[in-house]
Each structure stands twice: as C-alpha cells, then as structure tokens.
C-alpha cells in the first residue's frame, strides 16, 4: 500500500559554504523519514534549493528542523547574493503529490508557520494557496529585487501591510520566512552569450506575466558567473509550456543581437515537462505517451506480477545440450546436487552462491534499517544498498549456472578426439572462459562485501551480526572463486595470461580480507561483543 506523499522545496539563503548546506540537509534527514531527492546550490545567487518528499507529518517535522538549523547558521546581516531574499530559510512551499489534497498542504503551512513564529521567533508570511490575504498570494508582492531583508527590517514594525501572519513584528539575523502551498512548478534558467545584465532584465520583462508577457511565467534578469541569465519560475507548465517560453526568449534575444547559450533546471521537474518539449521540437504530432518504453513496461507490470519477477518461457530447442541448475530448487536440493558425486555443481557454483548470500544479507540489514527514525540520516544510502545488493544477488545467482556451463564446456573440449586439429584451441578457449567466470564471481562478491561494510558501519545495530556474516560469506566466495581461477589458469598455454589471472585474483583476495576484517570488527563493536 502506498503512503500519501507531499513534496517540499525549501530555498535557503546559502550557496557557498558547503558545511552549512550539509548541516541543514542533515538536520532535515535526521528529523523524520523523508527522502532528499535533490540539492542544488548556486554561489552567485548564494542560494540552495532542496527537494524532499515524505508523508505530510514527516515533511512538516523535517522542515521545522531545517528552518531551525538555517536560523542558527545563516546571518542575513552578513549575506549578499544575486537572488532576492527575506530570510535564512527564504521560501518553503508544500506541494501535494500523491493521495494528498491542496487543503492538506495549506494546513501544513499554517501549522508550521505558527510553530516557527512561536518557537523560533521568526516572522512568517503565508503565500500562494495558503495566503491569509489576497495580496500575498503572489510571492513577488512579498519579496522582489527592490524589497528584501534590508527593506523589510525598516518597515515590519510600522507598516500594517507588512505585518507577519505569525511571529514577531521584528526582524533578527534569520530574517523572515515565507511558507505556503502550491501546485508543482518548474524553476528554469536560460543563459545568454552576453555579460550585459540589462538585456536579461529586458527579456525577463518581456516574457513575465506581471509586465504583459506569458500567463504562467515569473522571470527576472541576473548576472551569474559573468553571463546574463533569465531566471524563471514556470508556475503552470501545462498551460504555458517550456518550448513556448524558450522560443519567445530566443526572439527577444535576437532583437539585442544575442542568443541562448544553454539552460538549466533548478531542482526537479515532472516527466511530462520534458515529454511536451520533445513532442513539440521533434514535431511528433501523432505521438502517444504509451510509446515511451518505460510507460509501456509500467502498464504491463500493473496488470500482473513485476516483469523482473518473472521469466518468459524458453523454447525447448534453446535448452538442448545445456546443463543448468533447475529454477526454484530448495536449499536442500542444491546441497544434495553438490553432494551427489557428479562434477557439477561444484566449488565454483558454491562460491557464486556464497557471494549471492553475502549480497542477500547486506540487503537484509539495509531493509531492516530503512524506515527507522533512528537511522533517518542514512535512509537514502540504505535504499541504494538494497538496489545494488539486489542486482549483485541476481548476477551471482546467474553465475551459479554460468560456472556449471563453463566447466561442462571444458570437459566437452577435452572429450574431442585427440587428432582433431581444433582440439587445442577449443581447450584453451574453454579454460579462459572457465577462468573468467569465477574471476567475475570474485569481483562481484567483493562488491557484496563492500555493501556489507557499509551496513556494518551505518545499518541497524540489531542486525550487526548479520552484516558480519555477510562479510564472512563474501570472503568465502572471493577466495573460493579465486582458487578456481588459478586452477584453470594453470593449464593455459600462455604464461603471461596465466600470470595476469594470478595477479588479478591475488589482489581481489587481499582486498577482500581487509574488508572482512573491517566488517567483523565494526559489527562486533556495534553489537557490544568486541574482544578485549
């Protein structure tokens, strides 16, 4: 069952000091189980935009922590940048994404605004759909290039039109914060091949709605890294699509003898934003969204089990002369097959399975960490480990069959008549493949061990022993696979190639042993069972 999702795109007035940006983002992560999707910083604007999603409750809690940290670390009296700003946390919009209504986002904005004003003594203004006054719906009415922190500080206590919705009518070093609720928008910038900022101002004036331009476009001109920039918010990209905006900018730029050099997104944009542009520029008049491969796959998966979980039937003729491990065997079946007295499955297949088990244990520890508030700051890392471990597990399980097939190929080559002129080359080719397969297993197993190291250091301490076991199992896979490489390489006619295999696996084993030591030591320390 999916959970309701709210997006929040806070803008912080810091774009240069990486330690401050990291502290703010870390505070957001640690406060609640939210996902940080993007962080975009600009030193010229001296501004950072963070994109996060989560449940309504988690996003609200995370944003309070972010605002508090920004207030502690950013001093507006010492701040300067191209972008207009009112506060350390300048703007905080909430956007409904899934199973959430605009009314829910308005309620979040109101609750957060009241708490920020009461607990942090920061003046708060509500805007867009959350605005308590009609003249505050448009952010430009609250803040502009000519009305920023310095101007607000002079009038906040005396001008009734500038009285905050929450908090004190006085401005400290953290400034004021604008909090609201709105539909999705796209922050989009276009750079011109000129350093004349006046041209950017004129183009911005021509395209923005407030001065007679396109309906759902807000725009201003800036100088960024010596280039004139037209900075925009596209507030309804479906009704005023980006290609229309870009073409108007190009026409206006041509009037001044300049052109567009490149453009950029700030933060994220919905998929349909890009699809609309591609459809228009490529003149795909008959284009239908389900022509996109990923859309078609999603539609297929919605009708039944995920495609990744199924395998299509294999034509019978495709399996002839191929020795393979039967799918969906139980652990006992595999153990019995190993013990059966046949040459396959043997040590190489067991090494591959050990590697798969190492990846599986790393995935298990990561999954036991995801969603735990105590480990919110490593949520994204654990999610990435789950994905990486799943890929490794699948590749190592496939290597079980690959090892069996490689060994059978060697046997088939040796069974060729000795007077067959192709026999020596066939044997050498089969031996090389039989060395390549376990060498790849060793590399994959080392990758699994490195995931085990990460979960041992950052994962759920209650599963620390499982992280250690992942490291131990991974080492068994690396060393077992390396032994198989050496056995096959020893029979190669090319001594230089054989030596290369020897050096490669020796390096893999050395690294694996070092990772094993780190994993086990760390796991023992975190589990409280370290040896004295």
Q: Provide the 10 A C-beta neighbour count for residue 453.
A: 22
Give CA–CA dist 354/344, Å, rounded.
16
Pick from 448, 441, 307: nearest CA to 366: 448
Q: Is 4 helix (H, G, I), strand (E, B) or coil?
A: coil
Pick from 531, 509, 481, 508: nearest CA to 351: 481
- Cα distances from 121 to residues 69, 172, 306, in angstroms, run 14, 9, 51
* Long-range CB contact pairs, 334-337, < 8 A, 24+: none
Contact 402, 353 (CB under 8 A): no
How many degrees, rounded to 5, is the angle at CA 364 between CA 360 and CA 369? 150
Pick from 380, 435, 432, 430: nearest CA to 409: 430
Q: Rounding to the nearest 10 degrees, give the CA dihedral for residues 479, 485, 491, 492.
A: -140
The set of residues, in sequence order, having a beta carbon less than 8 Å from that of 376 and lying 6+ positions away, is 29, 30, 31, 32, 33, 34
Backbone φ and ψ for 49, nearest 5 degrees, come out as: -115, 125
Contact 39, 48 (CB under 8 A): yes
Q: Is 336 exposed, middle or buried (0-12, 13-18, 19+ CB in 10 A)?
A: exposed
Question: What residues are annotated to the active site?
Answer: 83
Across the strands, what pairs with 434? none
Which helix or strand (DSSP H or E) is residue 21 part of? Answer: helix 18-31
Cite the beta strand spans of 387-498 per DSSP E: none
The sign of the dihedral angle between the CA atoms of 228, 233, 237, 240 is negative
Helix axes 347-369, 331-339, angle to 10 degrees: 160
Range 364-376 burial, b when 16+ CB lie within 10 A, else e: bbbbbbbeeeebb
DSSP code for 325: P
Contact 509, 478 (CB under 8 A): yes
Strands 35-42, 47-54: pairing is antiparallel
Pick from 142, 178, 179, 139: nearest CA to 159: 142
Contact 230, 203 (CB under 8 A): yes
Joined tokens for residue 206: 């021509």
Give CA–CA dist 281/292, Å, rounded.
16
Contact 277, 241 (CB under 8 A): yes
Strand order in the sheet with 217-224: 217-224, 227-234, 186-192, 260-266
């Amino acid at each position: 069952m999916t959970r309701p999702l709210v997006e929040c795109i806070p803008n912080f007035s810091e774009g240069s000091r990486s330690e401050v940006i990291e502290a703010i983002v870390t505070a957001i992560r640690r406060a609640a189980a939210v996902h940080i999707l993007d962080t975009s910083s600009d030193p010229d604007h001296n501004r950072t935009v963070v994109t996060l999603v989560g449940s309504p409750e988690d996003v609200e809690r995370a944003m309070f922590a972010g605002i508090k940290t920004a207030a502690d670390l950013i001093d507006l009296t010492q701040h300067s940048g191209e972008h207009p700003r009112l506060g350390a946390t300048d703007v905080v919009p909430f956007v409904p994404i899934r199973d959430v209504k605009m009314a829910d986002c308005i309620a979040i904005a109101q609750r957060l605004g009241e708490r920020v004003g009461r607990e942090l003594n920061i003046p708060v203004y509500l805007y867009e759909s959350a605005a308590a006054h009609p003249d505050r719906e448009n952010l430009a009415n609250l803040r502009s290039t000519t009305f920023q922190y310095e101007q607000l500080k002079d009038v906040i206590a005396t001008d009734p039109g500038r009285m905050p919705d929450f908090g004190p009518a006085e401005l400290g070093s953290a400034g004021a914060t604008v909090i609201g609720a709105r539909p999705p928008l796209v922050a989009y910038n276009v750079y011109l091949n000129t350093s004349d900022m006046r041209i950017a101002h004129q183009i911005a004036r021509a395209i923005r709605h407030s001065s007679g331009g396109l309906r759902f476009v807000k725009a201003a001109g800036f100088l960024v890294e010596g280039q004139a920039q037209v900075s925009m918010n596209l507030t309804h990209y479906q009704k005023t699509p980006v290609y229309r905006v870009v073409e108007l900018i190009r026409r206006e730029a041509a009037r001044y003898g300049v052109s567009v050099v490149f453009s950029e997104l700030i933060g994220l944009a919905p998929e349909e934003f890009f699809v609309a542009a591609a459809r228009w520029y490529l003149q795909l008049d008959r284009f239908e969204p389900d022509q996109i491969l990923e859309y078609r796959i999603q539609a297929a998966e919605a009708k039944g089990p995920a495609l990744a979980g199924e395998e299509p039937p294999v034509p019978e003729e495709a399996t002839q002369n191929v020795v393979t491990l039967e799918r969906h065997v139980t652990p006992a079946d595999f153990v019995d097959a190993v013990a059966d007295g046949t040459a396959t499955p043997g040590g190489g297949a067991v090494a591959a399975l050990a590697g798969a088990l190492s990846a599986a244990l790393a995935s298990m520890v990561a999954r036991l960490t995801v969603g735990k508030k105590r480990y919110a700051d490593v949520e994204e890392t654990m999610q990435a480990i789950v994905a990486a471990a799943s890929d490794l597990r699948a590749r190592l399980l496939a290597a079980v069959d690959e090892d069996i097939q490689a060994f059978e190929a060697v046997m088939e080559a040796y069974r060729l008549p000795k007077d067959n002129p192709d026999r020596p080359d066939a044997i050498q080719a089969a031996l090389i493949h039989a060395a390549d397969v376990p060498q790849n297993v060793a590399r994959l197993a080392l990758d699994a061990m490195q995931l085990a190291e990460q979960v041992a250091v950052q994962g759920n301490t209650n599963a620390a022993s499982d992280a250690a076991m992942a490291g131990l199992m991974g080492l068994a896979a690396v060393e077992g696979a390396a032994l198989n490489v050496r056995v096959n390489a020893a029979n190669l006619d090319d001594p230089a190639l054989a030596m290369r295999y020897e050096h490669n696996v020796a390096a893999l084993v050395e690294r694996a042993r070092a990772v094993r030591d780190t994993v086990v030591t760390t796991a023992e320390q975190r589990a409280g069972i370290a040896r004295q």
